């Protein structure tokens, strides 16, 4: 993304951090759904959600680094 377009879509580290608990709750619900109904489709749905959570954590990491709040690792 270009600088201006990236700034338009960028979220602050605080906003991204605040979404982590919601993501965790959603993942817990998906895990419970898989336990109740262990199907290939439920596995696929959970895997998709886990990938989304991974991407959200990496976005937070990048934003922390950009804001100088990360440890740079």
Query: What string of pLDDT tens digits covers the 73 residues of the chain?
Result: 445 545 546 788 899 999 999 999 999 999 999 999 999 999 999 999 999 999 999 999 999 999 887 665 5
pLDDT at 69: 76
Asked, for residue 1, whether it belongs to a domain, the answer is no
Identify the CA nearest to 56 among candidates 3, 2, 14, 17.
17
Number of H helices, E strands in the chain: 4, 0
Task: Flag whether 73 is in a domain.
Answer: no
Domain contains 22 = yes
What's the domain range around 29? 12-66
The per-residue pLDDT for 7 is 54
Residue 24 pLDDT: 96
CA distance 22 to 27: 9
Q: Which of 10, 22, 24 is nearest to 64 (CA)?
A: 10
pLDDT of residue 11: 84
Q: Could you give the CA distance from residue 64 to residue 12 in angstroms, rounded to a whole number?
A: 8
Tell whether 7 is covered by a domain.
no
């Amino acid at each position: 993304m270009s600088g201006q377009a990236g700034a338009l879509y960028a979220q602050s580290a605080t906003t991204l951090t605040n979404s982590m608990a919601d993501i965790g709750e959603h993942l817990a619900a998906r895990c419970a759904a898989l336990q109740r109904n262990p199907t290939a489709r439920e596995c696929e749905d959970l895997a998709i959600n886990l990938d989304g959570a991974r991407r959200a954590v990496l976005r937070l990491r990048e934003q922390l680094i950009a804001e100088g709040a990360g440890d740079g690792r």
